[in-house]
Structure 1
Amino acid sequence: MATVTAVSRSAPEWRGGFGRLWTAAVVSRFGDALRAAALPLLAARLTDDAFAIAAVTACGYAPWLLFGLLGGAVADRVDQRRAMWTVDAARGLLVAGFALAVGLGHASIPLLLVLAFALTTLQTVFDNASTALLPSLVDRETLGGANARLMTGQQVAGGLLAGPCVPLLLVGGAFLPFAADAGTYLLAAALVASLPARPPGRQPRPAGSTLRAEIGEGLRFLWRDRPLRAVCAATLLCNIGMGALIATLVLHVTRWLHAGTAGYAAGLTAYSAGSIAGGLVAQRIARRAGRVRALLFVGAVQTAALLLIGCARYLPALLAGMLLLGAMSMVWNVNQVTLMQRRSPGPMAGRVASAFRTASASGAPLGALLGGAVAGAYGPNGPALLAAGTFALAVFSLIPAGKPDVSVVAPHDGATRRHLTP
């Protein structure tokens, strides 16, 4: 009997660009967390309509459906470093303009919808370029550790540091969280621009090659890869649930639990604290079970956490549920992204990533709208129970991909612990 278990065990080198990329990601995430927490609070001040509040979140996901595949194809064609810092600079100027509008008293739901849509449209290029760039900055065997450190650092900055700052900044003015976010985008752009320029590691495109044809290649690769296809479907179901929960969490905390703005900030902080803990154990779980089976365990725990959030009308229960949800979400993200990077051919990394994200992210706007409808019809805790149902379905959809007979594309993909008989 032989066992194939190829999960990275080494830590990435901070030199060679990874340290600067990590710093840029952490700084940018700090600002994003300020904006993400302040935006629904601002929406709740502008309207009492639960559906309108949820629509702000939905607009933050919709561009993935419209431009996600195009963003991945563009990321494979251009200098990924240049694409990232250009996008961050544009987002910094956009959010700075929004902060000015809020400060002058011109905030409105339509303006929030436009901002959310525009930022995510730019993000379709940035995220796919970032996913494709990381493997060129670290050794292949350290990808898992690099992703864990990157995501954990982002959670420290975005949750433990940014979360408690939101109520304090709001005291000084509703525009302050957005002004801070603009500054972090511009700083991150400068850090990414300072990364060492690398010769493109891609072959020249065939004559007559079109974006449409290249997008099709990425879609076909994702469909034919059994583990990636199964994980993508499961992530789609999870995103429906998370979209419903996130879009209405402010209503759940302030109107069902009556915990106010401080309770909302505490819930976000608990989620981030759990994410940090998840980042510390993500690789350990993957070594023991393989990446796909790790996702099965994670999904089951998340389902239980969502049931706790939706059924127990106590702030401590919400905090415990968010802590668990955050920890398992980090384990899921680290293993899902690493599996995708390690199974994707280098020249197609951006397109495979965009195909995966577009397909899986399509559930988030649907979930956000469903969450608003369910909250209005059944109460603010309804979306959490809806999310528990979609996570349970995700677990069942992953079971075939976690079986030992999953085909192994590469011996070091970490997809499963496959037992082979001689």
Structure 2
Amino acid sequence: MKKTLAIGWVSADVFSTFGDQLYKFALPWVILADTKSKWDLSLVSATQQAAILIFGMVIGVLVDRPKRLQLMIGAVSAEAVGVAILSYLHVVGALVGVYAIIFLIATLGQIYKSGVSSVLPLVVQDGQLEQANGMIQTARTATQFLGPIVAGWLILRSNHAPFLIDATTFLVLAGAMAVMQRPIAIHLPRPTAKRSLWQETLDGVQYLRSDAILLQFAVIMALVNLGLTGALAMVVYPIQRDFHLHSMAGGVIVAVASFGSMLGSMATAGVVKRIGTMKALVGSLFVVGLGIVGMAAPAMTSFFAGYALTLAGAALFNVAILSLQQRRTPAALRGRVTSTSLVMARFTAPIGALLTGVIGAAYGVESALFVNAGIVLITAVAAAWNIRHFVSTEEEVAAR
């Protein structure tokens, strides 16, 4: 039963992720084409990150409650409506409304993502979290190849199309989750005594504070996001403004580079098994930093290789840290701990996105990317130094 549920969930999730890839490519591309502004690209990213910061911890509490599946279905359905509205607001030029809907979509999306993190460990076999998370990440990454190409092709014909197709995939995901709701609910923890939202939020904060490893990596992720978020926010700028490619050619560039993310996801379980979780996490940060250096180079080939390398390192880190969090957190607290960690990690993301926009506007995107790379690489060096004790402990446990 667990295997069937996992396969069903992944299948529906992947279909919806294909729609997400249409949205993720089309949104910055269309906004940049209209405004010609690096600042607007930064503002889109900052708006999305702000939604996580404001509501992330509350969402963590809600997805740990008994009705988490109903909440996730409602959030996904509302995302479908939001994306459809966004398509209309963009066409009529209502930028304030566009950013408001972007904020709403990011908030609803976080409900689903946090819910998946909370529910997935309950529907996979014990000891297979890396494989399950890697499978989901790999399947999602596969859509990154097709999604940008299709989005680029659709934009040449209609700016509406990528958004409307994305809305449709959300409705399919909501329907699939509704069908699987009853068998999944069997594996959920029994309801506990009802407590206030504040008390339940505090549970996640206190647990994260008590776990030195998870707390340290939340801080590390915050520093990394200061550089990484801004770098990823600027991806479409050199493609559109420096290399002068049309939307479909830009989609091909993004799609092919996404193989880096797929390789990173697929390699995670093997890398963790070979060198351990701690070394894998730190090593992935060096990969990300070097990748951003490549993105800053003026040549298209260097940009492409750097972007692929950045995605590979980020994917490896994300799968490894998610599996580590799930393994070290009790089932009843997973949503809250994951969301608390995410809020800490993303606290710097809007700052990084806006800072990249400011530096890019004043000194050029290449200079901004070099600053981003420096932030990530310095953080990687500090992380390598600070986790020495954790690496030793992990090796001792593995040797027993």
- The two structures share one fold, judged by TM-score above 0.5: yes
Report SS of the residue matched to 1:55: helix
Alpha carbon RMSD of aligned pairs, Å? 2.1
Match of residue 185 from structure 1? 170
Q: 2:153 touches 2:248 (CA, 8 Å); kept in 1?
A: no
Match of residue 104 from structure 2? 118
List alignment gaps of at least 5 residues for structure 1: 1-12, 409-415
Change (3 A) 1:421 1:271: closer
Report SS of the residue matched to 1:141: coil
Alpha-carbon separation, structure 2, partners of 1:149 and 1:346: 21
Pick from 341, 361, 381 the counterpart of residue 396 of structure 1. 381
Match of residue 4 from structure 1? none
Counterpart amino acid of residue 214 in structure 1: E
Alignment of 1:235-274 (within 5 A): 235-262=221-248, 264-274=250-260
Alpha-carbon separation, structure 2, partners of 1:71 and 1:331: 25
Shift in Å at residue 369 of structure 1?
Answer: 0.6
1:78 correspondence with 2:63: no
Shift in Å at residue 263 of structure 1?
Answer: 5.2
Q: 2:141 touches 2:258 (CA, 8 Å); kept in 1?
A: yes
Q: 2:204 touches 2:336 (CA, 8 Å); kept in 1?
A: yes
1:88 correspondence with 2:76: yes
Match of residue 27 from structure 2? 39
Match of residue 57 from structure 2? 69
Shift in Å at residue 136 of structure 1?
Answer: 0.9
**How many matched pairs?**
398
Alpha-carbon separation, structure 2, partners of 1:384 and 1:315: 15
Q: 1:233 touches 1:394 (CA, 8 Å); kept in 2?
A: no
Alignment of 1:205-216 (within 5 A): 205-206=192-193, 209-216=195-202
Report SS of the residue matched to 1:174: coil
1:202 correspondence with 2:189: yes
Q: 2:65 touches 2:191 (CA, 8 Å); kept in 1?
A: no
Counterpart amino acid of residue 58 in structure 2: L
Report SS of the residue matched to 1:77: coil
Match of residue 52 from structure 1? 40
Alpha-carbon separation, structure 1, partners of 2:66 and 2:121: 16
Q: 1:76 touches 1:349 (CA, 8 Å); kept in 2?
A: yes
1:132 correspondence with 2:118: yes
User: Normalized against structure 2, the TM-score is what?
Assistant: 0.93
Shift in Å at residue 226 of structure 1?
Answer: 1.5
Alpha-carbon separation, structure 2, partners of 1:269 and 1:54: 21
Which one has a larger percent helix, Structure 1 or Structure 2? Answer: 2
1:372 correspondence with 2:350: no
Using the TM superposition, name which of 398-407 and 348-357 deviates more: 398-407
Match of residue 326 from structure 1? 311
C-alpha distance after superposition, 1:270-321 (max 9, x if no partner): 33111111122111100011112101111112211111221x2111111111
Shift in Å at residue 260 of structure 1?
Answer: 4.7
Pick from 339, 351, 360 the counterpart of residue 354 of structure 1. 339
Match of residue 153 from structure 2? 168
Match of residue 227 from structure 1? 213
Report SS of the residue matched to 2:98: helix
Q: 1:244 touches 1:367 (CA, 8 Å); kept in 2?
A: yes
Alpha-carbon separation, structure 2, partners of 1:420 and 1:167: 47
Alpha-carbon separation, structure 1, partners of 2:218 and 2:203: 17
List alignment gaps of at least 5 residues for structure 2: none
Q: 1:248 touches 1:375 (CA, 8 Å); kept in 2?
A: no
Counterpart amino acid of residue 152 in structure 1: T
C-alpha distance after superposition, 1:89-135 (max 9, x if no partner): 11112212223444xx3133223211210011112322111100001
Shift in Å at residue 351 of structure 1?
Answer: 0.3
Change (3 A) 1:401 1:192: farther
Shift in Å at residue 345 of structure 1?
Answer: 0.7
Alpha-carbon separation, structure 1, partners of 2:242 and 2:193: 58
Alpha-carbon separation, structure 1, partners of 2:208 and 2:154: 43
Report SS of the residue matched to 1:161: helix
Pick from 138, 146, 167 the counterpart of residue 132 of structure 2. 146
Report runs of 4+ in structure 1 exceeding 6 Å deviation: none
Q: 1:164 touches 1:269 (CA, 8 Å); kept in 2?
A: yes
Change (3 A) 1:265 1:206: same
Change (3 A) 1:171 1:421: closer
